[in-house]
Structure 1
Amino acid sequence: MPQFQDHFAPVAATYASARPSYPPLLFAWLAKTCSARDLVWDCATGNGQAAVALGDWFTRVIATDASSEQLVHAQPHDRVIYRRTSAEDSGLRDASVDLITVAQALHWFDLPRFHREVRRVLKPNGLFAAWSYGRLRIDDPAVDRFFQSFYSETLSAYWPAERHHVETGYRDLAFPLRLQPVPTFTMTDGWTCGQVFGYVRSWSATAKLCEARGEVAMDSFIARLLQIWGDPERTCVVTWPLTILVGHPLDDSI
């Protein structure tokens, strides 16, 4: 088993406050699509963003993560129980889970082992859903050009190799499911310059950039971003491409 690499421990506090929200309609649809709403396993929960949304629809949510630093910043919810454990060894009972969710994390897993764990804990009629959002776009062309350059050029050497799977919308990840159609969900928001900067600071690649070059690298980024943005309280529409894969595991393929 590959050793767990906690890419987000250095930015866990920022991650908890700066990451975008998932579409509320996604959680409503998942609840409607599930045959029962007793128990959800939110795997690699991070700060619990998906877990607390699921808690509004399901009786219990077991939210697990291998990172103790992420769990320190997890959001409380009466129906959510947080546990520190790996994706590949959940500690859950056999055939006990109605829904398994993985938000923005499937690309980090030991997939053969995780798929076996999914088959073990999921009920025969249970549902498995994984989603990921890619690189954001900003509706101001000048701001967007600068942002894309920073993402693709300045940070190019600092992204973990697994980030490739996010960029390709999980097209090349094994996903042994009987896939079912999913409605179109929009992931968009109106952000100020400060919110965009906070989001950038939550990236693992940004943390590695600062380790290599010092904080001056981000001082330069925010100064240039502010210059292009203008009024720091002005909001721009930001949009993320959202990949959602939902289905039932195939018994003979995991």
Structure 2
Amino acid sequence: MAKDLFSRQAGEYARFRPGYPPELYEFLLSFVPDRDHAWDAGTGNGQAAIELARHFRNVTATDLSSEQISKAAKQPNITYYACPADNTPIAPASVDLITVAQAYHWFPFDSFAEEVRRVSRPGAIIAVWTYHLPVIHDTTLNDRLIDFYINRTGPFWDSERRYVDDRYASIPFPYRRLSDRNFNMFYDWTPAQMAGYLRSWSAVQHIMRESNIDPVQPFYESLLDRWPEGELKRIGFPITLIVGKVSG
């Protein structure tokens, strides 16, 4: 079963987790001839589902966390379910596109693949993507972020994080691979926004549960000598997308 690591910080996740660039969706949709029904698995608070709803008649969005679902943006053509990704109420042979944004590494790959095949129409497309550590466009600050990631939070990441670290190069993908593509998304953030994003990390939440200490606060304070609160810095998120065909 997939892990639920984000219920506790569902509010931070909704406020601070980044969305995805239009170019990613444009590229992905070029593989999808039929746009009746999309399924966004591991939807979180619906970042990808909202965009898919602009292109598909119906979108089903699922997440293991009911807390995450409660924070999701609502649209008339999106139906949300709190359920495991490998055991959904989706009708058989009904889905044209399956997407998994920044969640596939948490899934049980074999049983999820069985569910994907159960719900897919002939010719259905599956796309999974991940973003790695953000890049602060200031070398000194970025070095501090890398140090925080490796040395402060590193021991507290779940083992599945290794797939994100290698940008899904080693992740199981039991579908016919059609394309791999890299993208970037950019934001202009204040230090407080960066801190909010870091608090949405599962490793940070592990630290807070085990020690009742917020590891982000001292890191946030360490940024302020070069990044005063209220000042914007450009932040980049490198994305890796894998597109495949479910069968055939």
Q: Per-residue deviation at 1:184?
A: 4.5
CA distance in 1, matches of 2:46, 2:30: 21
Which portions of structure 1, spanning 4 or more consecutive aligned residues, are displaced by more than 4 angstroms? none
Q: Are positions 1:236 and 2:247 aligned together?
A: no
CA distance in 2, matches of 1:183, 1:219: 35
Answer whether contact 2:97 2:124 (CA < 8 A) is retained: yes
Q: Are positions 1:43 and 2:45 aligned together?
A: no
Answer whether contact 1:177 1:249 (CA < 8 A) is retained: yes
* Counterpart residue identity of residue 119, structure 1: R
CA distance in 1, matches of 2:196, 2:59: 28
Superposed, 1:3-152 pairs within 5 Å as 4-152=2-150
* Counterpart residue identity of residue 159, structure 1: W
CA distance in 2, matches of 1:155, 1:183: 28
Q: Which of 227, 230, 244 is 1:247 aligned to? A: 244
* Counterpart residue identity of residue 231, structure 2: R
Q: Residue 216 and residue 11 in structure 1: after superposition, are their counterparts in 2 closer, same or farther (change >3 A)?
A: closer
CA distance in 1, matches of 2:57, 2:67: 26
CA distance in 1, matches of 2:20, 2:198: 17
Q: Per-residue deviation at 1:217?
A: 3.2
CA distance in 1, matches of 2:76, 2:244: 28
Q: Per-residue deviation at 1:100?
A: 0.4
Answer whether contact 2:127 2:242 (CA < 8 A) is retained: yes
Can you list the C-alpha shifts for 1:19-58, whole angstroms capped at 9, x where unaligned?
1110122223333321111000001101001000111111
Q: Which of 183, 204, 207 is 1:206 aligned to? A: 204
After TM superposition, the score normalised by the length of structure 2 is 0.94
Q: Per-residue deviation at 1:183?
A: 5.2
Answer whether contact 1:193 1:225 (CA < 8 A) is retained: yes
Report the identity percentage.
37
CA distance in 1, matches of 2:204, 2:162: 16
Q: Per-residue deviation at 1:182?
A: 5.1
CA distance in 2, matches of 1:31, 1:236: 32
Q: Secondary structure at the match of 2:59?
A: strand
Q: Secondary structure at the match of 1:98?
A: strand
**Equivalent residue pairs, number:** 248
Q: Secondary structure at the match of 1:120?
A: helix
Q: Which of 160, 166, 178 is 2:164 aligned to? A: 166
Answer whether contact 1:66 1:85 (CA < 8 A) is retained: yes
Q: Per-residue deviation at 1:95?
A: 1.2
Instruction: Give the gaps of 5 or more residues in structure 1.
Output: none
Q: Secondary structure at the match of 2:69?
A: helix
Q: Secondary structure at the match of 2:241?
A: strand
CA distance in 2, matches of 1:218, 1:183: 32
Can you list the C-alpha shifts for 1:225-254, whole angstroms capped at 9, x where unaligned?
22332x222222211221100010246xxx
CA distance in 1, matches of 2:119, 2:183: 28
Q: Per-residue deviation at 1:180?
A: 1.8
CA distance in 2, matches of 1:107, 1:216: 26
CA distance in 1, matches of 2:66, 2:214: 29
Q: Secondary structure at the match of 1:95?
A: coil
Root mean square deviation of aligned Cα = 1.6
CA distance in 2, matches of 1:48, 1:228: 34
Answer whether contact 1:210 1:218 (CA < 8 A) is retained: no
After TM superposition, the score normalised by the length of structure 1 is 0.92
